Chains A and B, each alone.
Chain A
């Protein structure tokens, strides 16, 4: 391949300083990169973070546990159900709540739908950044169907706040099941249409192969997880390494790449979408009968009818809404395979109504540290593609 991908050490003449961001359209969020450029080539990059820092970890210290769910929505807002459910499972782990198999499978379906939506956005945006807008509009129609399913289940679309500690607020409605069935039936064909636009497109391949590569060793040193790590060839996936929510029941493949470049990241995500579909199909076919929530009256809000007619339900309702649920003392770390990588929650409880300390392990924060190294010596176009293929979401980066 061309030599310019090698590191760039001798520079003649004057360098231009260019601000890539914070309002640059290609950054898909609010990041700033101060690039030193020699013509079109990037000599060095200096990332700035914090443009949408909202102090979520501090906010969480002043909120009852159930009120932290909406905060997690705003981390990686492309796949907020995964964040919500991950948080619920963290609290369940701390409180020792066992959820029924049906809840686990429902969660798997929702989380995998969210993963599909997340990867669809990322991959179609890679397409947009190479100049192919059409695939993006095709895939946004499909993402819309996923959002309609969220809407059917929880009433919201982007910041879903889906589910409760102990289960879901309501069961899958017949309408949801109808939508899910038609999605599972029609999506693969539409998705292959998108593939045929990009996957083997010569221009697209030339643009993305060898663009923004990172070695497996460097990626592991930085702490990469998720599709970006798998693109370098490391088969680490939380769903397999530490199965949660019944992922051990399903048969799926973890795709890995070779070079860790933009094309590999794109292809890994493409394959993960297919595997997510497999998981959803398995979970949906084997969906157990039963309740859509665990039998934990101290944590799970009772039905409104119960509240109005039953004394105990009223008491529980009051206590839950006021945040006075019994939370044991302790420290837990729980992680889920988020849309972007290992999304971890490190929760310390002192037994009070709020967490003593809550830390989000946000994969985007880690990816962004490696960004200057990955784009050094590359062209400006590669920098934009590297950014979009790492799927760095500003909300998750800054938290």
Chain B
């Protein structure tokens, strides 16, 4: 049983890393597509080996620590970022259980009762990586980036959490598997369109993606919190961002878009295992769709200014999410009275 879980953890970990690696390729190809360019096409067929070449480059570069930097924290920063990014994948149900060798294998590392809280919690810890790294660099631009990152994350987590509360109120459970199972009849996005929009915007902000990429905005802060980083430490920061994107897309797909559910999954009359595998494919299809939207937005929109970002977070998204929560509660009460 434990061995089974260990193998599954390794598989999920490997897939997460692989997808994060290839997201860099995907990002560059999407950017090239949107900008009338070719994109990477030298390493391997269609440039498919480009991420490996990039990773190799990162490993072989000089691992440089500025003399004025706080050495221990400087190394710790990217570590925290990477660690928290990798941890969040544990509670995502990647698919329904598979029935193999006479037993059920759950396609989820841990079905924690408080899965959603776990994810929100770990994402919040992720900001420490950026903060610590930016502060320890002893560079004013890095510090600006770190301060921007922390204030941005704190303000957007609130709206994110409140928009999730509405979903939790509807499902009555914090377990992600439970939330997915309840979406068998209809995806949550039908009942919570505003909540989905708020969550989506906040997810962009949490991943430091455009139009909220202020912590690293290269035109003002020269890379922000990772200005002083090089080699694989820089790679960790970039990797963490892509893993966060992947996990965000996975959370959006599971919480609002039915996770591994797909239309007519029971009516087709296929064997349970095939349905499970198709469910995994459906989940990944949804995830990649949202990843594409993330990239699409990045290469289309300008970024906000710092004060406008705060304005949007505190004065628009948080009130909107509270109204959404209250309305959801009201409707649920009404439903009990009327039906």
Interface residues of A (CB under 8 A from B): 2, 4, 16, 18, 24-26, 40, 127-134, 137-138, 141, 197-198, 201, 203-204, 206-207, 379-382, 384
In the bound assembly, the distance between CA atoms of A127 and B302 in angstroms comes to 7
A-B contact pairs, 30 of them (CB 8 A): A2-B307, A18-B141, A24-B222, A25-B219, A26-B219, A127-B302, A129-B219, A131-B213, A131-B217, A131-B219, A131-B303, A132-B301, A132-B302, A133-B31, A133-B35, A133-B299, A134-B35, A138-B35, A201-B301, A203-B211, A203-B301, A203-B302, A206-B304, A206-B305, A207-B302, A207-B308, A379-B305, A380-B220, A381-B305, A382-B305
Task: Indicate whether B273 reaches chain A with its CB closer than 8 angstroms.
Answer: no
Chain B neighbourhood of A18, CB < 8 A: 140-141
B306 at the interface (CB under 8 A from A): yes
Shortest A201–chain B CB gap in Å is 7
Q: Is the CB of A197 within 8 A of B300?
A: yes
4 A-B pairs besides A128-B219, A137-B35 with CB distance below 8 A are A24-B222, A130-B302, A131-B219, A137-B37
Residues from chain B with a CB closer than 8 A to the CB of A382 are 305
Chain B interface bracket (under 10, 10 to 19, 20 to 34, 35 or more): 20 to 34
Whether B86 is near chain A, meaning CB under 8 Å from some CB there, is no
Residues of B within 8 A of A384 (CB): 219-220
CB distance from B12 to the nearest CB of A (A): 33
Contact yes or no, B218 A25, CB < 8 A: yes
Report the separation of the CA atoms of residues A40 and B310 in the bound assembly, to the nearest whole angstrom: 13
A382 to B37, CA, bound (A): 30
- Taken residue by residue from 204 to 231, chain B's Cβ proximity to chain A (1 for < 8 Å, 0 otherwise) reads as 0000001101000111111000000000
The answer to whether A379 and B219 touch across the interface, beta carbons within 8 angstroms, is: no
Tell me the bound Cα distance from A203 to B302 in angstroms: 6
Q: Which residues of B lie under 8 Å from residue A207 when comparing CB positions?
A: 302, 304-305, 308
B210 to chain A, nearest CB (A): 6
Task: Report whether A201 and B302 are in contact in the complex, using a CB–CB cutoff of 8 Å.
Answer: yes
Inter-chain contact B306/A40, CB cutoff 8 Å: yes
Provide the residues of chain B in CB contact with A129, threshold 8 Å. Answer: 219-220
Instruction: Please judge, given known A-B contacts A131-B301, A133-B299, A141-B36, whether A206 and B211 are in contact too, CB under 8 Å.
Output: no
Contacts of B37 in A (CB 8 A): 137
- What residue of chain A has the Cβ atom nearest to residue B143's Cβ? A16
Q: How far, in Å, is A213 (CB) from chain B's closest CB?
A: 15
- Whether B35 pairs with A131 at a CB distance below 8 angstroms is no
In the complex, the chain B residue whose C-beta lies closest to that of A382 is: B305
Q: Give complex CA distance A311, B103 in Å.
A: 103
User: B307 to nearest A CB, angstroms?
Assistant: 7
Contact A204 B35 (CB under 8 A): no
Return the chain A residue nearest B221 by Cβ. Answer: A380
Are A203 and B36 neighbours in the complex by a CB distance under 8 Å?
no
| 7 A-B pairs with least C-beta separation | A131-B303, A130-B302, A137-B35, A132-B302, A26-B219, A129-B219, A131-B302
Closest partner residue, chain A, to B35 (CB atom): A137
| Least distance between A139 CB and chain B CB atoms (Å) | 11
User: B34 within 8 Å of A by Cβ?
Assistant: yes
Interface residues of B in 289-311 (CB under 8 A from A): 299-308
Output the residue of A26, A133, A198 with the most chain B CB within 10 A: A133
Query: What residues of chain B lie closer than 8 Å to A40, measured between beta carbons?
Result: 144, 306
Contact A379 B35, CB 8 Å, known A18-B140, A26-B219: no
CA distance in complex: A137, B36 (Å): 8
Q: CA of A381 to CA of B220 in the docked complex: distance in angstroms? A: 6
Q: Provided the pairs A137-B37, A207-B308, A384-B220 are in contact, do residues A16 and B301 lie with their beta carbons within 8 angstroms?
A: no
Query: A134: which of B299, B303, B308 is its contact (CB, 8 Å)?
Result: B299
Most buried by B among A16, A130, A379: A130
Report chain A residues within 8 Å CB of B306. 40, 379, 381
Which B residues are CB-close (under 8 A) to A203? Answer: 211, 301-304, 308
Enumerate chain A residues within 8 angstroms of B31, measured Cβ to Cβ.
133
Task: For A18, give the chain B residue with the smallest CB separation.
Answer: B140
Measured CA separation A137–B31 after assembly (Å): 11
Q: How far is the CB of B241 from chain A (nearest CB, A)?
A: 16
In the bound complex, what is the Cα–Cα distance between A206 and B312 (angstroms)? 12
Closest to B223 in A: A25
Given A26-B219, A138-B36, residue A131 in contact with residue B210 (CB < 8 A): yes
CB distance from B239 to the nearest CB of A (A): 22
| Complex contact A25–B140 (CB within 8 A) | no
CB distance from B292 to the nearest CB of A (A): 15
In Å, the complex CA distance between A204 and B31 comes to 20
Report the minimal beta-carbon distance from A275 to chain B, rounded to whole angstroms: 25
| B143–chain A nearest beta-carbon distance, Å | 8
- Shortest Cβ distance from residue B149 to the other chain A in the assembled complex, whole angstroms: 13
Most buried by A among B35, B217, B302, B306: B302
How far is the CB of A126 from the nearest CB of chain B, in Å? 9
A73 to chain B, nearest CB (A): 27
Question: What residues of chain B lie closer than 8 Å to A380, measured between beta carbons?
Answer: 144, 220-221
Find chain B residues with CB under 8 A from A138 CB. Answer: 35-36
Q: Are A204 and B219 in contact (CB under 8 A)?
A: no
* Chain A, residue nearest B34 (CB): A134
Interface residues of B in 305-331 (CB under 8 A from A): 305-308
Residues of chain B lying within 8 A (CB to CB) of residue A26:
219-220
Complexed CA–CA distance, A158 and B179 (Å): 60
In the bound complex, how far is the Cα of B301 from the Cα of A281, in angstroms? 33
How many Å lie between the Cα of A203 and that of B213 in the bound state?
Answer: 13
Whether A379 lies near B218 (C-beta < 8 A) is no
- Chain A residue numbers with a CB within 8 Å of B220 are 26, 129, 380-381, 384
CA–CA, A203 and B301, complex, Å:
8
CA distance A125 to B245 in the complex (A): 28
- Residues of A close to B221: CB separation below 8 A: 380
Contact: A131 with B211, CB < 8 Å?
yes
Q: Taking CB as reference atom, which chain B residue is nearest A130?
A: B302
Query: For residue A25, which residues in chain B have a CB less than 8 angstroms away from its CB?
Result: 218-219, 222
